[in-house]
């Protein structure tokens, strides 16, 4: 007698322990239809399906449990895919907006340089220079807010109640000239 086999030890036979029947295509189809209508299996429904399919109720319950697990995994994968797509779209939009901000900051720097170069050499009595409304009229007529508009602008640095530097910046930032009137 072998050391590995004792007379009291039972031998494993897969056919004896595998009492579970394989499901036919029709049985799977009916279970799938039932699953789409209700993800949870009520005891009455389990017994009804077991009778209709000639299967043990426990096998029906296990099939439902496995199907719910697969369904949940698929749902999570779909949700992840949708979120991944939304993230990619948002990232692309963020990069586009960052490029636009850089471009606008460059235009603002050009406008600031032009304003600094147009300041009179003697110190001005006001802390902020005043810009004449000819800039706002030119801006409204030209409409683009680009540096080529600045070349056509005539400025007056007298205290006439016209736009101050912050207001001029606001005009450039808005881009439509509506605040520059």
114 in any annotated domain: no
- CA–CA distance, 19 with 29 (Å, rounded to integer): 22
Which of 18-32, 45-59, 61-75, 94-108 comes out lowest in average pLDDT? 18-32
Q: pTM of the prediction?
A: 0.43
Q: Which of 104, 132, 153 is the last residue of a domain?
A: 104
Asked if 123 and 94 sit in the same domain, the reply is no
Give the C-alpha separation, 168 to 181, whole Å.
11
66 within some domain: yes
- Structural domain of 145: 119-181
- How many residues are listed for the chain in this entry? 181
Does residue 130 share a domain with residue 91?
no
Task: For residue 155, name the pLDDT band (cuts at 50, 70, 90).
Answer: very low
Q: How many domains does the chain have?
A: 2
Residue 47 to residue 52: CA distance in whole angstroms: 9
Do 131 and 88 share a domain, yes or no? no
């Amino acid at each position: 007698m072998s050391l590995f086999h004792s007379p009291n030890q039972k031998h494993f036979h897969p056919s004896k322990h595998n009492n579970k029947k394989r499901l036919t295509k029709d049985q799977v189809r009916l279970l799938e239809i039932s699953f789409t209508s209700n993800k949870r299996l009520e005891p009455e429904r389990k017994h009804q399906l077991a009778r209709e399919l000639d299967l043990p109720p426990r096998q029906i319950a296990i099939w439902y449990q496995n199907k719910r697990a697969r369904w949940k995994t698929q749902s999570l994968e779909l949700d992840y895919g949708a979120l991944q797509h939304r993230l990619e779209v948002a990232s692309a939009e963020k990069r586009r907006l960052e490029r636009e901000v850089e471009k606008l900051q460059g235009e603002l720097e050009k406008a600031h340089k032009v304003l600094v170069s147009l300041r009179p050499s003697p110190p001005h009595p006001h802390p902020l220079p005043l810009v004449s409304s000819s800039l706002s009229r030119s801006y409204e007529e030209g409409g683009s807010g680009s540096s080529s508009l600045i070349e056509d602008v005539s400025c007056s640095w007298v205290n006439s109640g016209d736009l101050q530097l912050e207001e001029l910046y606001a005009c450039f930032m808005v881009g439509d000239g509506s605040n520059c009137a």
